[in-house]
Amino acid sequence: MNCELCGKPAGRTKKVLVEGSTLQVCERCAKHGEEVFSSKGGAKKEDILARINKRRDQPYSSTRQESEKELALDYPEKISNARIERGMTQEELAKTVMEKKSVIAKVEHGDLYPSDELTKKLESALEIDLFEVIAEVAPIKSNEGGAITIGDLLKGQ
């Protein structure tokens, strides 16, 4: 490899910051800038362990609010059934919510996940609830205080 500053062949190079540019330079040219140290291995093991322990100490409920809602898994059936009960065609529903018929058809078949805006329009037009409150699930903890094992999961049943 050649030095990117002087152009001479260099067996070993250093990564150096010279006037705002990072260059691979020989030992002689390294004095013209500041050596840049990069960790190619990613984060250090100590940092990773500290983050894991910090997350482990946080209560589960702090990551998810109790009133958090999510689109119901059976939203296609709910929309389709409510539309049929009201005697509407997909085209009529599409006009009501200002969407294309193809969008309504895809949503009813479960091929399209509706945006929050479309979901609210559908709820209003069909007078249904498509969002469900997510039940909070208590985390399973290991009896030994270590990592959770398959045995711990089976004991929790």
pLDDT in tens, 131-157: 888 766 666 666 666 677 777 777 765
Q: What is the pLDDT at residue 49? A: 73
Q: What is the pLDDT at residue 66? A: 47
Answer with the residue of higher pLDDT: 153 or 12: 12
Please provide the average confidence, as pLDDT, over all residues in the chain: 81
Q: What is the pLDDT at residue 56? A: 66
Identify the structural domains of the chain with CATH numbers, from first to last.
1-38 (no CATH), 69-133 (1.10.260.40)
Q: Is the pLDDT confidence value at 65 over 80? A: no
Contact (CB, 8 A) for 71 and 133: no
Q: How far is CA 49 from the centre of its chain?
A: 21
List the single range of 64-73, 78-87, 110-119, 136-145 with lowest mean pLDDT: 136-145
**Alpha helices for 20-89 (secondary structure H):** 45-57, 75-85
Confidence of residue 72 (pLDDT cuts 50, 70, 90): confident
DSSP assigned state of 69: E
Q: What is the pLDDT at residue 42? A: 53
Confidence of residue 61 (pLDDT cuts 50, 70, 90): very low
Q: What is the pLDDT at residue 63? A: 45
Whether the CA torsion 42, 46, 52, 55 is positive or negative: it is negative
Calculated CA dihedral for residues 12, 17, 22, 25, nearest 10 degrees: -20
Q: What is the pLDDT at residue 64? A: 45
